[in-house]
Chain A
Amino acid sequence: MVKPTKVTNDIRGLREAAGLTQVELARRIGVTRQTLIAIEQGRYSPTLELAFQIARVFGTPLDAVFRYPDEESS
């Protein structure tokens, strides 16, 4: 029924490097702080649109923020 997502991400590292708090980043991408925490911890897969918004905040391509494991290692 409920399973954690296979998508991993570097949001926390990128956010800290950009000097943003969770509240600030959450506000910029239009979600609650709890949702941002869930995304950072891999407990929620963001929509494609939200993923692009996050990448845009950091000024990086999508695959610099999110990763999906190869089939052999999944």
Chain B
Amino acid sequence: MVYQERNTWAGLIVLPFVLTGYVIAILQAADGGPLTEVQWWPIMLWTIGGGIVGTIVLSIVWGILAGLRDPEGASASDLRDRDIARLGDRVGQAFLVIAGLGVIALCALEAAWFWIANAMFLGFAMSALVGGIAQVIAYRRGLA
């Protein structure tokens, strides 16, 4: 497995954990009350930070282990990695557009900030998730 594929997998492994943690933290903070009353932004920022740090740490540990087996190839990448990364970006971008349109619609409806922020957050998460899955499929099944 090449460096870039490991990083993609690291993101895909960490993402479900941080998203589950985020939902649990929000529900706990709501404590049965309305979600719109929750002070969501510190939880969201911690989730984003945790996701980034978790992915980096997992990538580094995985890279060290891979380097023990293949010192030369552990951090190598090439034009195929760039092509696959571009594919993942393109696929993921669709979800950012959908989230952006959702945010505009929610603003037009004067929805609570909680829903506006979480619509965008969901867009980021789906973009990362679906883009990452597209990359992993491209690594495993091929890219024409």
Residues of A at the B interface (CB closer than 8 Å) are 1-6, 30-35, 38, 41-45, 47, 50
Contact = CB atoms under 8 A, between A and B. Distances in A.
DSSP class of A's interface residues: helix, strand, loop or mixed? loop
B78 A2 contact: no
B141 A34 contact: no
Interface of B: 1-2, 5, 73, 76-81, 83, 87, 91, 134, 137-138, 141-144
30 contacts: A1-B91, A1-B134, A1-B137, A2-B87, A2-B141, A2-B142, A3-B142, A4-B142, A4-B144, A5-B144, A6-B144, A31-B78, A31-B80, A32-B2, A32-B73, A32-B81, A34-B2, A34-B80, A35-B2, A35-B80, A35-B81, A38-B80, A41-B142, A42-B142, A44-B83, A44-B144, A45-B143, A45-B144, A47-B79, A50-B79
B144 A2 contact: yes
Contacts, number: 59
Given A31-B78, A34-B5, 19 more contacts: A1-B134, A4-B141, A5-B142, A30-B78, A31-B80, A32-B73, A32-B77, A32-B78, A32-B80, A33-B73, A34-B73, A34-B80, A38-B142, A43-B141, A44-B80, A44-B83, A44-B142, A44-B143, A47-B79
A41 B22 CA distance: 42
A35 B77 CA distance: 9
A4 B137 CA distance: 11
B32 to A, nearest CB: 42
B2 A43 contact: no
A33 B73 CA distance: 8
A3 B73 CA distance: 26
Contacts of B144: 2-6, 44-45
Contacts of A45: 143-144
Nearest to A42: B142
Nearest to A41: B142
Closest 3 CB pairs of A and B: A43-B142, A35-B80, A5-B144
